[in-house]
Amino acid sequence: MPPTRAFGLETGVTPNMPSHSNLRFPGRRVAGTAWRLAIAGLALLPLAAAAQEDKLPPPEGWLARTDHGGDGVEALQEMPPGWHVTTGPAGIFYDPETRADGDFRVESTVFLFDPKGLNEGFGVFIGGADLEGASQVYTYLLIRADGSVIVKRRDGDETSTLLNWTKHEAVVTWAARGEGAATAKNVLSVEAEGEDVIFGVNEQEVFRTARAGQHVDGVVGLRVNHGLNLHFSSLEVTDG
């Protein structure tokens, strides 16, 4: 794995509200240095409305899996910088070639569009293995519109909670997104450092756990619960 792999481009972003895409996506990845989203207010709704009828391509190389099987993931579409996600049921999105092992930092910048009253979680996962099989495992960090954060792990069909939903000042809530803003922006991170795994939001630590016994090394990706409209502008994996 090279020292840094980043997904997303430093360009303007014009997310639309795409219709649907298939559960699986054959593929290509976009890689480069640690690109950052260079957008201040993300005032995108007029552009999104104009592009609403255009079907954007799914990201090559990515797969999707819903929690309870079957299709129904409405959209994961490539929209530089990054990807636009509009979910039906909850699920995960990932490129099986994108891994984090040893000591690493995973970081993703995400923009939440109007949740329309829903308070569902979204974020990143690490330690993914057997993601297409019955014995899937991973550990995930989610936030939600009310400013809460949760850390959980999945083992097959079962999940266990490491940190239950807890409100944290680090999370930018939908209500506190700023006057006239179309989105609420947050930067999520997970660092594996020696014997610890550290979960962060907007450069603040929100939870820490011992690495031993957790799903840490493995595939990295995105997790989104049901009924959400999001734009992930980046997913960065940095060694050490």
In tens, the pLDDT along 87-141 reads 888 999 999 999 999 999 999 999 999 999 999 999 999 999 999 999 999 999 9
Exposure class string for 101-133: b at 16+ Cβ within 10 A, else e: eeebbbbbbbbbbebeeeebbbbbbbbbeebee
Quick one: the chain helix, strand, coil %, rounded to 5?
A: 0, 45, 55
The pLDDT, as a whole number, for residue 74 is: 53
pLDDT of residue 134: 92
pLDDT for 13 beyond 50: no
pLDDT in the model for residue 54: 59
More confident residue, 233 or 70: 233
Let me know the angle formed at the C-alpha of 5 by 233 and 87, rounded to the nearest 5 degrees. 35
Residue in the structure block whose two tokens are 């993931």: 73
What's the CA gap between 220 and 191, in Å, rounded?
A: 12
Question: Dihedral sign, CA of 85, 121, 67, 210?
Answer: positive
Rounded to the nearest angstrom, the gap between the alpha carbon of residue 221 and the centroid of all alpha carbons in its chain is 6
CA atoms of 209 and 197, how far apart (whole Å): 5
Per-residue pLDDT tens for 26-53? Answer: 333 333 222 233 332 343 443 343 334 4
pTM of the model as a whole: 0.81
Q: What is the mean pLDDT of the chain?
A: 80
